[in-house]
Amino acid sequence: MATEITNAATVSKPNSAVTRPLKPLTRAYVTFLAGDGDYVKGVVGLMKGLRKVRSKYPLVVAVLPDVPKEHSKILADQGCIVREIEAVSLPEKYQNQFARAYYAINYSKIRIWGFVEYSKMIYLDGDVQVYDNIDDLFDLPDGHFYAVMDCLCYAYNQRCPDALQWPEAELGPPPAIYFNAGMFVLEPSLSTYRDLIRTLEITPPTPFAEQDFLNIYFRDTYHPIPPIYNLVIAMLWRHPEFVELERVKVVHYCYAGSKPWRYTGKEENMDRDDIKMLVKKWWNIYNDESLDYKNYVCSTGGGSYRACEPANLLTSPIRGWRPSLRNGPIGHLDPF
């Protein structure tokens, strides 16, 4: 199946064949989008945030087939590389086993381990915003899974005496340290991808879905990174002693009512001044038309970009390589 380019973006669809890129792309950010809801706004904001901090690397958006074509086009028009993936089919035992029903779809994140044209990727949820350049994370030593430790006040009783218990009878002792899966550094690999799928088949379901699963799978290779790389917004009131807001590079708007594009200030803890400031900060980026793809690439002549050229072609980390659209699209079809 041919790969379609919409403006700068590559839209790929699953196929049994694999078309390799002209040259290795090496590094990219990646996020995940499902359904026809308003999360597309979060991904647009993320793309513009990466652009504002002048990241050198493109943003790949892994979309499920239920994402409307109009939403894919919005993302393509913002310079994202849009790739369609199939949802991960869950074993029957997984039905109705999650803290929230919609967590189930997040297992499809596993597909990104199959993006083997990249040697390293940084995954960011669609409700994440980047406020300072984090390209340095790509230079972390290979062979580890990097993420920020999670606050477990409402999960598995590891820090505060609250809520859900780790299913120790089924899974054994909980991981010694538990990470948040809204941001992590990974190395795509088909062998890892296939093993993740196999392991999922034999792993009992847990309340926090793919986050628990990834914690189990990578428990021996997980290496914590500083919390400035993923401030889970509830840390502002649960553990303020761990927060240095002026140093935070990445904010994760994952608490109920905190997503900026839905924010009303009426939900619990949402009337705090620090929350209002972070919501306003997100909107400042989202509403900044100078960060729109069409405006940005045409206004940076003389900088690191050549004026009016596709951003995902110009941000290649391979020094001196400038692929031409005449040679066909970059990217490849999913190998699964």
* Domain CATH number, residue 94: 3.90.550.10
Instruction: State the total domains in the chain.
Output: 1
Which amino acid appears at position 228 of this protein? I
User: Cα-flanking dihedrals φ and ψ of residue 329, to 5°?
Assistant: -75, 155
2 in a structural domain: no
**Short-list 312, 223, 237, CA closest to 275:** 237
The whole-number pLDDT of residue 204 equals 77
Cβ atoms of residues 238 and 199 within 8 Å: no
Query: Residue holding tokens 């990241």?
Result: 55
Please say whether the beta carbons of 52 and 288 come within 8 A.
Answer: yes
Could you give the residue numbers annotated as active site?
A: 109
- DSSP bridge pairs for 12: 83
| Res 279: pLDDT | 98
Residue 172 has a pLDDT of 74
Indicate the pLDDT class of residue 252, thresholds 50, 70 and 90: very high
Asked if the structure places residue 1 within a domain, the reply is no
Say if 334 falls within a structural domain.
no
Asked if the model's pLDDT at residue 329 lies above 60, the reply is no
Asked whether residue 336 is assigned to any structural domain, the reply reads no
Does residue 5 form part of some domain?
Answer: no
Flag the least confident range among 99-113, 145-159, 206-220, 308-322.
308-322
Give the whole-number percent of the chain exceeding pLDDT 70.
70
**pTM of this structure:** 0.79
In a domain, 275, yes or no: yes
Is the CB of residue 146 less than 8 Å from the CB of residue 137? yes
Q: Is the pLDDT of residue 137 over 70?
A: yes
Determine, yes or no, domain membership for 239.
Answer: yes
**In angstroms, rounded to a whole number, what is the distance separating the alpha carbons of residues 167 and 204?**
9
> Domain limits at 55?
15-327
What's the confidence (pLDDT) of residue 228? 97
Q: What pLDDT is recorded for position 93?
A: 59
What is the structure's pLDDT at 303?
Answer: 37
CB atoms within 10 A of CB 247: 11
pLDDT digits (tens, 9 = 90+) for 174-198: 777 889 999 999 999 999 999 999 9
Residue 332 lies in a domain: no
